[in-house]
C-alpha cells in the first residue's frame, strides 16, 4: 500500500500526546511524523492517521533532538 501525504486533523494534533511520556508532540509535515522530544521518538503518520505505538516509532538522533527542541 502506497503512503500518501494526507494532513492530520488539527483538532487531533491539539489533543494527542506521547504515549510514553505524555508530553506534547510536534508535527513534522515534511517527514509525516509526530515528534516527542522528551522521549526521543518520532511517530509515523500514515494516510493522515498518527500511529501512536512506541514499537512503530523511530528513534531520534542527537542532532534531531536538538533541532526539535528549539522553538
- Residue 39 within any structural domain of the chain: yes
Decide: helix, strand or coil at residue 57.
coil
Q: Residue 23 has which C-alpha cell?
A: 508530553
Tens digits of residue pLDDT in 2-58: 555 688 889 999 999 999 999 999 999 999 999 999 999 999 999 999 999 999 999
Residue 3 placed within a domain:
no
- The total domain count for the chain is 1
pTM confidence score: 0.87
Q: Supply the range of the domain harboring residue 48.
A: 10-69
Residue 2 in any domain: the answer is: no
Q: Is residue 56 part of a domain?
A: yes
> pLDDT digit string (tens) for 44-53?
999 999 999 9
* Beta strand 33-36 pairing with 49-50: unpaired
Nearest to 10 by CA among 30, 29, 31: 29
Amino acid at each position: 500500500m502506497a503512503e500518501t501525504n494526507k494532513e492530520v486533523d488539527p483538532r487531533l494534533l491539539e489533543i494527542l500526546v506521547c504515549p510514553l511520556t505524555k508530553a506534547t508532540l510536534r508535527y513534522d509535515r515534511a517527514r509525516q511524523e509526530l515528534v516527542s522530544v522528551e522521549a526521543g521518538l518520532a511517530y509515523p503518520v500514515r494516510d493522515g492517521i498518527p500511529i501512536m505505538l512506541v514499537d512503530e516509532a523511530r528513534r531520534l538522533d542527537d542532532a534531531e533532538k536538538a533541532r526539535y527542541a528549539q522553538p
